[in-house]
Each structure stands twice: as structure tokens, then as C-alpha cells.
């Protein structure tokens, strides 16, 4: 079971798409461990996107990220990082396949609605940036046996 960080970006908030996007993850079966709305300070945006510093899109990305509140969440599930990224779709909304979050709701290449961790290692780091330990809630979901084949004792 993996955890992943999701950020519903300023355009998702401004366009009132939070419920629609969150419901996709819940309907898929992901467990929600933490959720909060925040205004990302510039220093945190720069830290989070540091790997893009020096690229031509870096400063516009920072301005966009801090322009309005965002919704941050932690999801848990088997292969969460990979599956969530498939659900998000291609980075550029104009290139994302229909049926994905970006494919259904995004047109812009800059305003792309959502961030998801790109690896389990980065997920751990990002979760630590946005959530304190006491803000995350581990619990046993009642429907887990209907989400995964547990007949062997392992989650399959």
C-alpha cells in the first residue's frame, strides 16, 4: 500500500471542481488520510518546485501556485502513485486523454488543475512538506475486502 500527495491547484479551486475531482479518487477506492485547504506561501512553492528552477516556466508556475488557495490531500491504496497519475492524465490539458481529470476538465498547458507525486519516494517527501504527522489519519476502511482480493492474506 502506498501513499501519495495530491494538490488540487488554484484553477481547480476557482472553477469549483474540488468535489468532482475528489469523488473520482473516492469512487476508485482510494483511502483519504488527510485533507486541508491552504494558501501556499511563495517560499513553500519554490521549495516544492525547486527541480524546475531556472526553466522558463518556473516563475509563471510559482505565480500560479500562490495565486489562490489549494486543496492538499493524502491518498492511500495499492500502487497509489502510478494509478493516480494515470487518472490525472498528461501534464498538458490540451494533450490529456478524455476520461482523465485533465482530459475532462483542462484545456491549458499551464493551468492543469492537479499535482500528484511522481514516485513513492517523492510522495513521502511531499507529504512531509504539507502535513504534520497528527494531521494524517490511519484507519481500516470497511470496504477494503471489496476493493482488493485478500484471499491469500495479501492485498492483491
Query: Does residue 123 fall inside a structural domain?
Result: yes
For the residues 3-8, what does the mean pLDDT come to? 98
**Model confidence pLDDT, tens digit, residues 12-52:** 999 999 999 999 999 999 999 999 999 999 999 999 889 89
Query: Does residue 39 fall inside a structural domain?
Result: yes
Catalytic-role residue among 8, 46, 115, 117: 115
**Is 48 annotated in the active site?**
no
**Model confidence pLDDT, tens digit, residues 39-50:** 999 999 999 889
- Tell me the three state secondary structure of residue 131: coil
**Model confidence pLDDT, tens digit, residues 109-119:** 889 999 999 99
> 78: domain CATH number?
3.30.70.141
Q: What's the domain count of the chain? A: 1
Q: What is this structure's pTM?
A: 0.93
Return the pLDDT at 154.
Answer: 76
68: exposed, middle or buried (Cβ count in 10 Å: 0-12, 13-18, 19+) = middle
* Domain of residue 97, residue span: 2-147
Amino acid at each position: 500500500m502506498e501513499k501519495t500527495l495530491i494538490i488540487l491547484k488554484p484553477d481547480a479551486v476557482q472553477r469549483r471542481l474540488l468535489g468532482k475531482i475528489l469523488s473520482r479518487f473516492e469512487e476508485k477506492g482510494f483511502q483519504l488520510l488527510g485533507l486541508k485547504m491552504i494558501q501556499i506561501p511563495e517560499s513553500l512553492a519554490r521549495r516544492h518546485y525547486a527541480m524546475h528552477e531556472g526553466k522558463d516556466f518556473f516563475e509563471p508556475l510559482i505565480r500560479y501556485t500562490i495565486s489562490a488557495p489549494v486543496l492538499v490531500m493524502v491518498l492511500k491504496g495499492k500502487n497509489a502513485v502510478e494509478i493516480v497519475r494515470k487518472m490525472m492524465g498528461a501534464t498538458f490539458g490540451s494533450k490529456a486523454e478524455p476520461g482523465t481529470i485533465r482530459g475532462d476538465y483542462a484545456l491549458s498547458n499551464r493551468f492543469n488543475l492537479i499535482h500528484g507525486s511522481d514516485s513513492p519516494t517523492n510522495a513521502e517527501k511531499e507529504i512531509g512538506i504539507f502535513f504534520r504527522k497528527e494531521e494524517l489519519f490511519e484507519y481500516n476502511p470497511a470496504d477494503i475486502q471489496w476493493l482488493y482480493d485478500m484471499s491469500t492474506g495479501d492485498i492483491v
